[in-house]
């Protein structure tokens, strides 16, 4: 609940009104200390995999994305990184629930993959929501050679799709409802899988390597997830226009039925009539 502003300018006393911020998006980040050796090993592992795998194309535009099987890679560096993911996930849950629940010490499922981007590569806007992805994250192995926080560094852009109106006096650009997270070697982000995000176009000269992951735990559930996933079928992904049309056609047919009534009710303005409220003729 947000307390009312200190200066009361209203004639009425509205201090008793409650303002609640509903449905927040918890985003956590942590800079793992002493990660240089781990990152060097992860880099070698990822680049070695890239030599033997064509990878896959999902939200990535350019670059190489591994298959979603990093959770099964046996290299010690990968196992260490996955341990870190689970540690931070437990902290993420504890911060939100206010306690360390033993139920969340075990039972996590991770699906993870690696990304290698070079100049000009980026990821389009997307989310990671799925039957087995409730929380998602990224770990920056090697952010490349763009100075931290600068444009072109492949920053992760979280977007607000809540469509809540914003104060355009303070922020005139209504499209600007996003938060940029700066990559840093050893940094790990965790966020709800439903949070829309993209990866800024990378403009550096050296390779940019990241690991991404989705997390699931049976102790969590997402309200209305099934409805949401039904929409995300193959037809919706590939033929969105046709799918929207299928919904819209009945609406438009009904609107056509209303057309005669709308025409009958429509007043056709007479240019010789004085405007309403005027007692004199305009042309006198
Ligand atoms: Fe993503």
Count of C-beta atoms within a 10 Å radius of residue 61: 14
Count of C-beta atoms within a 10 Å radius of residue 263: 8
131: CA distance to ligand 1 center in Å?
A: 16
Residue 7 falls within a domain, yes or no?
no
127: CA distance to ligand 1 center in Å?
A: 6
Residue 244: per-residue pLDDT: 74
Secondary structure of 129-140 in the HEC alphabet? CECCECEEEEEE
Task: List the one residue out of 25, 131, 164, 137 whose CA is nearest residue 70.
Answer: 137
pLDDT tens-place string over residues 8-56: 555 688 989 999 989 889 999 999 999 999 999 999 999 999 998 877 7
pLDDT at 233 over 80: no
Residue 193: per-residue pLDDT: 95
CATH for 133: 2.60.120.620
30: CA distance to ligand 1 center in Å?
A: 18
Task: Look at residue 274 and give its three-state secondary structure.
Answer: coil
270: CA distance to ligand 1 center in Å?
A: 59
Q: Work out the pLDDT band at 281, boundaries 50, 70, 90.
A: very low
225: CA distance to ligand 1 center in Å?
A: 18
Residue 166 falls within a domain, yes or no?
yes
Residue 248 falls within a domain, yes or no?
no
20: CA distance to ligand 1 center in Å?
A: 29
Residue 209 falls within a domain, yes or no?
yes
CA–CA distance, 35 with 75 (Å, rounded to integer): 16
Residue 18 falls within a domain, yes or no?
no
- Residue for token pair 């193959």: 234
Q: Average pLDDT over the chain, rounded to whole?
A: 86
pLDDT tens-place string over residues 161-207: 888 888 888 877 777 778 999 999 999 999 999 999 999 999 899 99
126: CA distance to ligand 1 center in Å?
A: 6
CA–CA distance, 282 with 49 (Å, rounded to integer): 82
pLDDT at 113 over 50: yes
Residue 63 falls within a domain, yes or no?
yes
Q: Work out the pLDDT band at 256, boundaries 50, 70, 90.
A: confident
Q: Work out the pLDDT band at 110, boundaries 50, 70, 90.
A: very high
197: CA distance to ligand 1 center in Å?
A: 6
- Structural domain of 199: 28-222
- Is residue 110 within 8 Å of residue 85, measured between CB atoms? yes
112: CA distance to ligand 1 center in Å?
A: 11
Residue 268 falls within a domain, yes or no?
no
117: CA distance to ligand 1 center in Å?
A: 14
Q: What is the DSSP string of 207-241?
A: -EEEEEEEEE-TT---TTHHHHHHHTSHHHHH-HH
Residue 136 falls within a domain, yes or no?
yes
128: CA distance to ligand 1 center in Å?
A: 6
What is the pTM assigned to this prediction? 0.77
CA–CA distance, 13 with 21 (Å, rounded to integer): 21
35: CA distance to ligand 1 center in Å?
A: 22
The sign of the dihedral angle between the CA atoms of 14, 18, 23, 26 is positive
Domain count along the chain: 1
Proportion of the chain above pLDDT 70, given as a percent:
88
């Amino acid at each position: 609940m947000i307390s009312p502003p200190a200066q009361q300018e209203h004639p009425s006393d509205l201090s008793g009104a409650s303002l609640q911020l509903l449905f927040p998006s918890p985003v956590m980040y942590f800079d793992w200390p002493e990660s240089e050796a781990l990152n060097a090993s992860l880099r070698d592992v990822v680049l070695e995999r890239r030599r033997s795998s064509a990878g896959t194309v999902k939200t990535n535009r350019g670059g190489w994305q591994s298959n979603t099987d990093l959770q099964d890679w046996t290299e010690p560096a990968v196992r260490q990184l996955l341990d870190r993911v689970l540690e931070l996930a437990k902290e993420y849950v504890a911060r939100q629930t206010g306690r360390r629940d033993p139920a969340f010490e075990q039972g996590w499922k991770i699906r993870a993959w690696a990304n290698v981007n070079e100049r000009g590569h980026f990821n389009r806007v997307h989310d990671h929501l799925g039957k087995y992805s409730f929380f998602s994250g990224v770990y920056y192995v090697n952010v490349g050679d763009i100075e931290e926080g600068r444009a072109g560094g492949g920053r992760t852009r979280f977007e607000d799709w809540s469509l809540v109106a914003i104060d355009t006096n303070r922020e005139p650009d209504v499209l600007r409802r996003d938060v940029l997270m700066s990559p840093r070697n050893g940094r790990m982000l965790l966020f709800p899988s439903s949070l829309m995000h993209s990866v800024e176009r990378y403009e550096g000269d050296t390779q940019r390597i990241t690991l991404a992951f989705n997390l699931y735990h049976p102790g969590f559930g997402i309200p209305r997830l099934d409805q949401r996933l039904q929409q995300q079928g193959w037809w919706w992904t590939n033929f969105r226009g046709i799918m929207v049309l299928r919904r819209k056609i009945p609406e438009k047919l009904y609107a056509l039925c209303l057309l005669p009534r709308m025409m009958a009710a429509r007043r056709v303005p007479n240019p010789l009539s004085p405007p309403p409220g005027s007692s004199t003729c305009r042309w006198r």
